[in-house]
Amino acid sequence: MLHAIGKGIVLAEIQQNSNLTYRIYDYDRTDNNGKKRELHIDKALDVIHFTEHIDFQKSTGIRTESGFTVTTMFFYDCFEVEKYKGEGRINEIADGRAFSTYTVTEGSCIVIYKKGSLPLSKGESVLIPANLGEFSVEGSFEALKVHVP
Protein backbone atom coordinates (compact mmCIF):
# COMPACT_ATOMS: atom_id res chain seq x y z
CA MET A 1 0.00 0.00 0.00
CA LEU A 2 1.39 3.37 -0.99
CA HIS A 3 1.67 5.70 2.00
CA ALA A 4 3.69 8.55 3.44
CA ILE A 5 4.66 9.20 7.03
CA GLY A 6 5.71 12.78 7.63
CA LYS A 7 7.87 14.34 10.32
CA GLY A 8 6.42 14.22 13.81
CA ILE A 9 3.85 11.52 13.00
CA VAL A 10 3.46 8.56 15.34
CA LEU A 11 1.35 5.71 14.04
CA ALA A 12 0.70 2.02 14.36
CA GLU A 13 1.48 0.43 11.01
CA ILE A 14 -0.42 -2.85 11.04
CA GLN A 15 0.37 -5.00 8.04
CA GLN A 16 1.32 -8.38 6.72
CA ASN A 17 5.06 -8.91 6.57
CA SER A 18 6.37 -8.53 3.04
CA ASN A 19 10.09 -8.00 3.75
CA LEU A 20 10.06 -5.46 0.92
CA THR A 21 9.93 -1.67 0.77
CA TYR A 22 10.10 0.41 -2.38
CA ARG A 23 10.83 4.10 -1.80
CA ILE A 24 9.34 6.55 -4.28
CA TYR A 25 10.24 9.58 -2.17
CA ASP A 26 12.31 9.78 0.99
CA TYR A 27 12.20 13.43 2.14
CA ASP A 28 15.88 13.74 1.12
CA ARG A 29 16.92 11.69 4.14
CA THR A 30 20.44 10.31 4.25
CA ASP A 31 22.03 7.12 5.53
CA ASN A 32 24.77 6.97 8.18
CA ASN A 33 27.35 8.04 5.56
CA GLY A 34 25.40 11.14 4.51
CA LYS A 35 24.32 9.57 1.21
CA LYS A 36 20.70 9.89 0.06
CA ARG A 37 18.83 6.61 0.30
CA GLU A 38 18.04 4.80 -2.95
CA LEU A 39 14.65 5.37 -4.57
CA HIS A 40 12.78 2.58 -6.39
CA ILE A 41 10.27 4.46 -8.55
CA ASP A 42 10.11 2.04 -11.50
CA LYS A 43 9.87 -1.05 -9.28
CA ALA A 44 7.14 0.58 -7.18
CA LEU A 45 5.09 1.53 -10.23
CA ASP A 46 5.32 -2.08 -11.45
CA VAL A 47 3.69 -3.49 -8.29
CA ILE A 48 1.19 -0.81 -7.22
CA HIS A 49 -2.40 -1.87 -7.90
CA PHE A 50 -3.90 1.53 -8.65
CA THR A 51 -7.45 0.21 -9.12
CA GLU A 52 -7.55 -2.36 -6.30
CA HIS A 53 -9.89 -1.64 -3.40
CA ILE A 54 -9.74 -3.49 -0.09
CA ASP A 55 -13.02 -3.50 1.81
CA PHE A 56 -12.00 -3.10 5.45
CA GLN A 57 -14.86 -3.27 7.92
CA LYS A 58 -14.53 -0.19 10.13
CA SER A 59 -15.69 0.44 13.70
CA THR A 60 -17.97 -2.54 13.81
CA GLY A 61 -18.92 -2.33 17.44
CA ILE A 62 -18.35 -1.08 20.95
CA ARG A 63 -18.68 -3.22 24.05
CA THR A 64 -17.67 -2.99 27.69
CA GLU A 65 -15.46 -5.61 29.28
CA SER A 66 -14.01 -5.63 32.82
CA GLY A 67 -14.02 -1.83 33.18
CA PHE A 68 -12.85 -1.19 29.63
CA THR A 69 -14.53 0.19 26.56
CA VAL A 70 -13.54 -2.07 23.68
CA THR A 71 -13.95 -0.65 20.19
CA THR A 72 -13.43 -2.80 17.11
CA MET A 73 -11.51 -0.32 14.94
CA PHE A 74 -11.49 -2.51 11.82
CA PHE A 75 -11.03 -6.04 10.67
CA TYR A 76 -9.90 -7.85 7.58
CA ASP A 77 -9.21 -11.50 6.74
CA CYS A 78 -5.66 -11.23 8.07
CA PHE A 79 -6.13 -9.19 11.25
CA GLU A 80 -8.51 -7.40 13.59
CA VAL A 81 -7.70 -4.23 15.55
CA GLU A 82 -9.46 -3.45 18.82
CA LYS A 83 -8.93 -0.44 21.07
CA TYR A 84 -9.13 -1.06 24.83
CA LYS A 85 -9.63 2.04 26.99
CA GLY A 86 -10.21 2.09 30.73
CA GLU A 87 -8.95 0.88 34.07
CA GLY A 88 -8.99 -2.61 35.48
CA ARG A 89 -7.93 -6.09 34.49
CA ILE A 90 -8.56 -7.94 31.23
CA ASN A 91 -8.32 -11.73 31.45
CA GLU A 92 -7.31 -13.44 28.21
CA ILE A 93 -6.34 -16.88 26.92
CA ALA A 94 -3.82 -17.41 24.13
CA ASP A 95 -5.24 -20.73 22.96
CA GLY A 96 -2.59 -21.80 20.45
CA ARG A 97 -4.39 -20.60 17.31
CA ALA A 98 -2.58 -17.28 16.71
CA PHE A 99 -0.39 -14.69 18.37
CA SER A 100 -1.64 -11.22 19.30
CA THR A 101 -0.01 -7.90 20.10
CA TYR A 102 -0.82 -5.05 22.46
CA THR A 103 0.51 -1.54 21.89
CA VAL A 104 -0.04 0.97 24.69
CA THR A 105 -1.14 4.36 23.34
CA GLU A 106 -1.91 6.04 26.70
CA GLY A 107 -1.13 5.24 30.33
CA SER A 108 0.59 2.06 31.44
CA CYS A 109 -0.20 -1.55 32.22
CA ILE A 110 1.33 -4.81 33.24
CA VAL A 111 0.96 -8.10 31.38
CA ILE A 112 0.75 -10.93 33.90
CA TYR A 113 1.28 -14.53 32.83
CA LYS A 114 2.10 -17.88 34.47
CA LYS A 115 5.88 -17.42 34.53
CA GLY A 116 6.10 -13.68 35.22
CA SER A 117 5.00 -10.21 34.28
CA LEU A 118 5.95 -7.42 31.92
CA PRO A 119 5.27 -3.71 32.51
CA LEU A 120 4.37 -1.60 29.47
CA SER A 121 4.25 2.18 29.08
CA LYS A 122 2.94 4.48 26.37
CA GLY A 123 4.57 3.63 23.03
CA GLU A 124 5.59 0.10 24.01
CA SER A 125 4.29 -3.15 22.52
CA VAL A 126 4.24 -6.79 23.49
CA LEU A 127 3.88 -9.90 21.35
CA ILE A 128 1.68 -12.51 23.03
CA PRO A 129 2.76 -15.96 21.77
CA ALA A 130 -0.07 -18.18 20.56
CA ASN A 131 0.75 -20.82 23.18
CA LEU A 132 1.07 -18.49 26.22
CA GLY A 133 -2.16 -19.76 27.80
CA GLU A 134 -3.92 -17.65 30.42
CA PHE A 135 -2.71 -14.09 30.93
CA SER A 136 -4.09 -10.73 31.98
CA VAL A 137 -3.46 -7.09 31.19
CA GLU A 138 -3.93 -4.77 34.16
CA GLY A 139 -3.75 -1.01 34.66
CA SER A 140 -5.16 2.32 33.59
CA PHE A 141 -4.44 2.49 29.88
CA GLU A 142 -5.49 2.71 26.26
CA ALA A 143 -4.05 0.05 23.96
CA LEU A 144 -4.46 -1.41 20.50
CA LYS A 145 -4.88 -5.18 20.42
CA VAL A 146 -4.12 -6.76 17.05
CA HIS A 147 -4.90 -10.40 16.37
CA VAL A 148 -5.86 -12.83 13.63
CA PRO A 149 -9.66 -13.23 13.63
3-state SS string for 38-63: CCCHHHHHHHCCCCCCCCCEEEEEEE
Report whether 86 contacts 94 (CB < 8 A): no
Q: Using CB atoms within 10 A of its CB, is residue 89 exposed (0-12), middle (13-18) or buried (19+)?
A: middle
Among candidates 2, 146, 1, which has minimal Cα distance to 74? 146
- Selected catalytic residue, list 23, 63, 89, 97: 23
Report whether 81 contacts 14 (CB < 8 A): yes
37 included as an active-site residue: no
**Would you name the residues annotated as active-site residues?**
23
